[in-house]
Amino acid sequence: MKELLDNPESIVDIPTDKWGMKGTRKTQTLFHKDGLWVKDISYNEYKERDGMTTVYKSNGETVLIWYSKGIKKNVEVYNRNGNIKKEIPYRNSIKCGIEKRYDQRGRLRLEIPYENGLKQGIERRYDEDGNLVLKTRYDNDEKDLDYEESFCPYEDNSII
């Protein structure tokens, strides 16, 4: 798939009109000449991205990007098995909120707080059983070297 995206002349643009609740919505669907679907983009009547954009990556991942009137609102990344890999919230097209990352089985492994596109607050890491194992503080994208807290999920602080 990477070869497809690196070779723009192999991409075919097939614009379509769809009727939505508020008028005409345009969908731009990009295909490789061999018929592989690469990207599907929704636009509103003002030619702003609006709704869901779907991107199929060469590594088998699927990326879903939600827009409202041209402003990015949320991104979800799914692995080739269909399990969630990342959830990234946006405000005014800038990372803002808690980014969540998951392992191959879809279990939450990491929460990263963002404010205005920068890491801000307490990052939390979890083990495969969902137990909190590490907290790290960030201030304006800088790791606070004086603050890091580890947790052992076992009562006697040992690994069985």
Q: Where are the domains of the chain?
A: 83-154
Question: Mean pLDDT, the chain, as a whole number?
Answer: 82
> What per-residue confidence (pLDDT) applies to 106?
94
pLDDT at 43 over 90: no
- Architecture category of domain 83-154 in CATH: Single Sheet (2.20)
Contact partners, residue 80, CB within 8 Å, separation at least 6: 59, 60, 61
pLDDT at 111 over 80: yes
| pLDDT tens figures, 61-77 | 999 999 999 999 999 99
Task: Annotate 29-74 with DSSP letters as a single string.
Answer: EEEETTS-EEEEEEE-TTS-B-EEEEEE-TTS-EEEEEEETTEEEE
Mean pLDDT of 30-45: 73
> What per-residue confidence (pLDDT) applies to 59?
82
pLDDT at 39 over 60: yes
> What per-residue confidence (pLDDT) applies to 1?
41
143: confidence class by pLDDT, cuts 50, 70, 90: very high
Q: Which two tokens stand for residue 2?
A: 């990477």
Mean pLDDT of 137-145: 95
